[in-house]
A and B are shown apart, each in its own frame.
Chain A
């Protein structure tokens, strides 16, 4: 082929398109590293999400659906046995409550150790109610829902400064938001804000999120059919959710690398979210006080072998605000931030240090630290 003909060919829009597309598809094939577990990405590579049960009943839930199942199971048991001897405690938290770093055989979550270490096998039923990055607004809504449906005696609240950067309710709260819960939320200013944000968001059927834009279109079943068929004949197409996870994770690390963000980089509080979450905590404690349910709060443990990623003045101010709220509602507040020794956290990697999830032994320590207070409160010594 002479030089001019080659140049004409290279300049043809169609040839460029074909070559570019082929390169793009080859790059995807090369890039794909296998299935990605989104929960693993969110929790960190060393962590294992765990579930606990006691005497055949689930006692932990890590999604709204699972939490609903735990409460339904308990409500069913209580309906079958209307005079329960066992007092119910709910333990509200984030992934610290359901993840175990470097999981080893025999490890359990803190709610399990709380019940296991009790003086009698049926004198406490603690339910671990935790969502990844759960903010106080979500904990408030969960608290309103659960205390309405089962006779709760004690609520243990994990107070984690990191989660005050989160906002609003995740989509699967759809399972909980009903007329009763709406009426409860309308009683507080922050409840009204939570509802307004919830109602204002684009409502999507969680099972149809991939085709959400086709709501009301006759095209929707055709799209679902084609996407499914394409996945069956073209494995890389079926792997697209994993590819998206992998790509977004790489983007996250790329951002950190470019901007020099390390695990210890200080994350500033986000004022409006912080404010809304603290008002949600206030509303939750007010609700518990009104229902005469004992509340115990604790400042979540954090590792201290590296500078913590909080702005220390704001962090101290937050702890003071939490203490003031605890005093206002006569809530017992424990500070467990230094409870778990540095060697019981995750491995140290320069680019990835986990400040949130400790090893199985940490769960034992947290349960041990809370047990005396919980039982003292159950015995009516508050």
Chain B
């Protein structure tokens, strides 16, 4: 099901009403049925795939828990994870692997593709695979006691607000909330509805309106674009994907809140970050936290932890093995890139961020002579530019197009003309100015220190009501499922 639709709102109303009407012992069952319906309203046949994948993890997790024998535990864990990764590899990476084999061997790609037929990428497979893997690994590490009820475990995996595109929550964060629902609370309902409304606003009023401009720009012959065009395209897509994904996450968080389940935040004003490290503590926080715990820290040989907050916030320590830590950084980001999509574009996007973080680690200390405020501003500008330019790899139709686009930035003569309508540049300029304004407000702690904006002040209440009224106005006019969420393709 798509969140940005009337049918989703109707579904949500029915499920929420049913949830609070039913006796507590039936509520988890309702969540499972609702989640299955939610997924089946995409394609019914793939529900069985999810159930199969979940059952494998459920089964092997119990086996892991039941035995003390290290080798058996390892074998069960590997069986569980290899089943998940095998399914992910088949559905998501078959074409990518065959395409590269064809490239290396010189055979036509089409003959390889014809041999495997048409493979449909199951919605949310990258996300629910990560949920399952973290569950198995947490049981293996003895950080979580596996649940005995398959229906409870399946509800955790399929819980509709987070199944398709996150937030990626750990078993210990979500399962207890599903197993023991909280009491009906007006504040939960109000906050949930508010989050859904603002999430829809980000999606239908901002992301969906930017999408045609960005699509058109990236369809233009890259070799004819100016440097300003490329910069604008990068920023525009950066804004689009933020509004799209942050909007999705807000709707997910709000939907869960309506049934008394609290998710951790997935975004925290990422474009206000003053360093690449801080950016990844603010962007897709639950994914970067997952990557930190199950990939980066184990590869680096550093201590592991298990919670979906904080993102990748590991300070660069003078490790005894800097080569290993650096290699782990690049391997992690290479895989993080490929997780997003089965193409070299995404791998390069990951490597771009690895390089950016490494550069930050190596140079960070040298800038400490600069006054803090100036350093913070420069850090913000540099981080924003680096992150936005990275999006070119993410959005360009091919790797060669991405390199052509980067090439357009390098020659001063390429900055003397514009290739799109003025509105495109205007929108990006307004967004950039808004970010600067917001940064100014946060740096000066205007919103937090000013008593007018204290949580219980009348000004805050009025501002909140006005914002809700404005969002209602816009969402009412623009709510249509004219586009999917960008992260659905992953």
A residues near B (Cβ < 8 Å) are 7, 10-17, 19-21, 23-25, 27-28, 31, 165, 167-168, 193, 196-197, 200-202, 209-214, 216-219, 222-223, 226-227, 230, 240, 243-244, 247, 255, 268, 270-273, 275
Contacts and interface: CB of A to CB of B under 8 A. Distances in A.
Contact of B5 (A19, A223, A272): A223
Contact of B186 (A12, A21, A268): A12
Contacts of B68: none
B319 interface: no
Contact of A14 (B186, B226, B461, B470): B186
Contacts of A16: 190, 194, 461, 464-465, 468
Contacts of B467: 20
B7 to A, nearest CB: 5
A20 B469 contact: yes
B419 A270 contact: yes
A25 B476 contact: yes
B61 interface: no
Nearest to A204: B482
A135 to B, nearest CB: 13
Interface stretch (B16-24, B40-48, B85-93): B40-48
Residue of B7, B42, B189 contacting most chain A CB atoms (<10 Å) = B7
Contacts of B321: none
B484 to A, nearest CB: 5
Contacts of A218: 40-44
A20 B189 contact: no
Residue of B42, B193, B455, B465 contacting most chain A CB atoms (<10 Å) = B465
Contact of A219 (B41, B187, B483): B41
A20 B472 contact: yes
A11 B470 contact: no
Given A13-B194, A200-B219, A219 B477 contact: no
B233 to A, nearest CB: 13
Interface extent on B, as a size class? 35 or more
A323 B410 CA distance: 36
The 10 closest A-B pairs by CB, nearest first: A20-B468, A24-B472, A13-B190, A14-B190, A23-B469, A24-B469, A213-B481, A272-B419, A219-B41, A271-B417
B42 A270 contact: no
Residue of B418, B464, B477 contacting most chain A CB atoms (<10 Å) = B477
A210 B216 contact: no
Contact of A223 (B7, B221, B226, B397): B7
A271 B414 CA distance: 12
B53 to A, nearest CB: 21
A154 B140 CA distance: 80
Interface string B465-490: 11111111100111011111000000
Nearest to A242: B477
Interface in B1-58: 1-2, 4-7, 10, 40-44
B320 interface: no
Interface string B202-241: 0000000000000110011100111000000000000000
A14 B189 CA distance: 6
A214 B2 contact: yes
Nearest to B193: A17
B41 A217 contact: yes
B229 to A, nearest CB: 8
Given A201-B215, A223-B481, A271-B418, A20 B40 contact: no
Contacts of B221: 193, 196, 272
Given A13-B191, A16-B465, A24 B480 contact: no
A14 B185 CA distance: 10
A24 B481 contact: no
A90 B410 CA distance: 46
A230 B480 CA distance: 13
Residue of A212, A219, A268 contacting most chain B CB atoms (<10 Å) = A219
B195 to A, nearest CB: 10
A271 B415 CA distance: 12
B426 to A, nearest CB: 8
A136 to B, nearest CB: 16
A165 B424 CA distance: 13
Contact of A17 (B190, B220, B224): B190
A185 to B, nearest CB: 15
B197 A211 contact: no
Contacts of B194: 13, 16-17
Nearest to B8: A219
Interface in B319-377: none
A16 B221 CA distance: 49
A25 B197 CA distance: 13
B477 A247 contact: yes
Contacts of A31: 473
Contact of B469 (A21, A202, A219, A243): A21
A358 to B, nearest CB: 26
Contacts of A243: 476-477
B65 interface: no
B215 A202 contact: yes
A17 B196 CA distance: 11
A204 B380 CA distance: 39
Contacts of B42: 216-219
Nearest to A23: B469
B189 A27 contact: no
25 contacts: A14-B190, A16-B190, A16-B465, A20-B467, A20-B472, A21-B472, A23-B466, A23-B469, A24-B476, A27-B469, A193-B221, A196-B221, A202-B215, A209-B482, A211-B480, A213-B2, A213-B5, A213-B482, A216-B42, A226-B7, A226-B10, A247-B477, A271-B418, A272-B221, A272-B225
Contacts of A268: 418
Nearest to A275: B224
B376 to A, nearest CB: 31
B421 interface: yes
Given A11-B456, A25-B472, A218-B41, A273 B419 contact: yes
A11 B187 CA distance: 10
B187 A20 contact: no
B420 interface: yes
Contacts of B176: none
Interface in B125-172: none
Given A13-B189, A223-B5, A271-B419, 17 more contacts: A10-B461, A12-B187, A14-B190, A16-B190, A16-B194, A17-B190, A20-B471, A196-B219, A201-B215, A201-B216, A212-B483, A213-B2, A213-B4, A216-B42, A219-B41, A271-B226, A271-B418
Contacts of A216: 42-43
B2 A219 contact: yes
Nearest to A268: B418
Given A17-B194, A217-B41, A165 B5 contact: no
Contacts of B470: 24
Contacts of A10: 458, 461
A201 B219 contact: yes
A200 B218 CA distance: 9
A214 B478 CA distance: 16
Nearest to B38: A219
A362 to B, nearest CB: 28
A20 B465 contact: yes
Nearest to A243: B477
Contacts of B426: 255
A127 B466 CA distance: 54
A90 B270 CA distance: 56
Given A213-B484, A218-B40, A200 B5 contact: no
Residue of A21, A196, A270 contacting most chain B CB atoms (<10 Å) = A21
Contacts of A165: 421
Contact of A270 (B187, B219, B418, B477): B418
